[in-house]
Amino acid sequence: MLEHGGRLLRAVRQYGIARECWLDLSSGIAPWAYPIPPIPVDAWARLPETEDGLEEAARRYYGTHQLLPVAGSQAAIQALPLLRPLGRVGVLTPCYAEHPHAWQRAGHQLIELDEAQVDGMLDSLDVLVLVNPNNPTGRRVPRERLLDWHARLAERGAWLVVDEAFIDNTPEHSVIDCAERAGLIVLRSFGKFFGLAGVRLGFVAAELALLQRLADLLGPWTVSGPTRVLAQASFADTLAHRLQIDRCAAASQRLAALLARTGLAPSGGCDLFQYVRSEQAAPLHDFLARRGILVRLFDQPSAVRLGLPASAADEQRLAQALTDYHKESA
Ligand SMILES: Cc1ncc(COP(=O)(O)O)c(C=O)c1O
């Protein structure tokens, strides 16, 4: 299993600090969870049925006609490599490590690329995979470039897989409205923007034939009844979408400014996290953890990623710790 953020209980054991004392900034999940609506007993008691309103609500929210709900976009990340003959798969790295891992584990030839290399390599790839905006670097590939890459790949029956797990805050950059085009596969994650990662819900938008093969592979009832009810309520609450977008953007800007003030100017980020490359990432991670603040550490390249503090008090606590670190490391 690969390393991920959000492993608070391990930090509790490792640093001997009680769970309730931690400020967990180790994931890129919005720290304000959408309200949970009343869940009818039927949603728990009966097997979930498709077309109960969830697919329709998701089509409206995402602005696409063809999509498949899955138990977190992670389920699709693992399944997609099984739906193609073995081939050459380019992945823009560093990115969410489950992508390269899944293609390689299925037996495909993995080619790690940076954005500047794509144009030169594109015609030799069977699949190009990228995360947009990228986790953890925050790099964003413009929509026009993605659609151009897709057109070139599609001429040969090759795929472009765009993981848009962090794009709900800036939906104007999404390519999901084009996902009916053959060979364009768009992944969306419900948990991050709505702050409800525990419900395990994601969506795949793509041409119908591919979605049917994916649905066959994943089997029936992948998304639970309570999740289906809760997600419909979240999609329908359009006023709350605006509020979530605005407060994430403001918190992310404040976080970037705070990091810059303490000598840790972010090298990238998006409205759900900031990313700081530093040779001192490991000592910084440890310094913060000893004060009960958990951030995500990366070693290749050496970096930390910080999610959004939920309140002024959390921000103040982080600011104090970073100021102390800045003084001690000066
Ligand atoms: C870029 C990216 N894609 C996909 C996922 C999987 O998310 P989920 O399965 O909750 O949709 C993650 C989880 O952190 C992620 O960072």
Task: Give pLDDT tens digits for 281-293.
Answer: 999 999 999 999 9
How many angstroms is it from 43 CA to the middle of ligand 1? 25
pLDDT at residue 180, as a whole number: 96
Q: How far is the CA of 189 from the centre of ligand 1 (A)?
A: 6
Is the pLDDT at 323 greater than 90? The verdict is: yes
pLDDT in tens, 211-242: 999 999 999 999 999 999 999 999 999 999 99
Q: Are 183 and 157 in contact (CB under 8 A)?
A: yes
Compute the distance from residue 175 Cα to the ligand 1 centre, in Å.
18
Q: Is 227 touching ligand 1 by the criterion CB < 6 Å?
A: no
Whole-model pTM: value is 0.98
Phi, psi of 24 (to 5 degrees): -95, 105
The per-residue pLDDT for 78 is 98
pLDDT digits (tens, 9 = 90+) for 92-143: 999 999 999 999 999 999 999 999 999 999 999 999 999 999 999 999 999 9
CA geometry: angle at 9 spanning 8 and 14, to 5°?
A: 95
The pLDDT tens digits of the residues spanning 249-287 come to: 999 999 999 999 999 999 999 999 999 999 999 999 999
- Which pLDDT score is estimated for 269? 98
Residue 3, pLDDT > 90, answer no
For residues 315-326, average pLDDT: 97
Residue 245 pLDDT grade (very low, low, confident, very high; cuts 50, 70, 90) = very high
Q: Is 204's pLDDT higher than 90?
A: yes
Give 112's Cβ-side CA count (13 Å radius). Answer: 9
Q: Is the pLDDT assigned to residue 329 strictly greater than 90?
A: no
Ligand 1 contact via 31 beta carbon (within 6 Å):
no
Query: Is the distance from CB of 77 to CB of 186 less than 8 angstroms?
Result: no
Q: How far is the CA of 209 from the centre of ligand 1 (A)?
A: 24
In this predicted structure, the answer to whether residue 330 has a pLDDT above a threshold of 90 is no
- Inform me whether the pLDDT recorded for 37 exceeds 90: yes
Asked whether residue 90 carries a pLDDT value surpassing 90, the answer given is yes
In angstroms, what is the span from residue 72 Cα to ligand 1's centroid? 7
CB of 131 shorter than 6 A to ligand 1: yes
Answer whether residue 322 shows pLDDT above 90: yes
Using a 6 Å cutoff on CB, does residue 26 contact ligand 1? no
Distances (CA, A) of 40 to 46, 50, 92, 243, 300: 10, 16, 43, 27, 46
* CA–CA dist 310, 86 (Å, integer): 44
- How confident is the prediction for the chain on average, in pLDDT? 97
Reading the block at residue 110, the tokens are: 């993995």
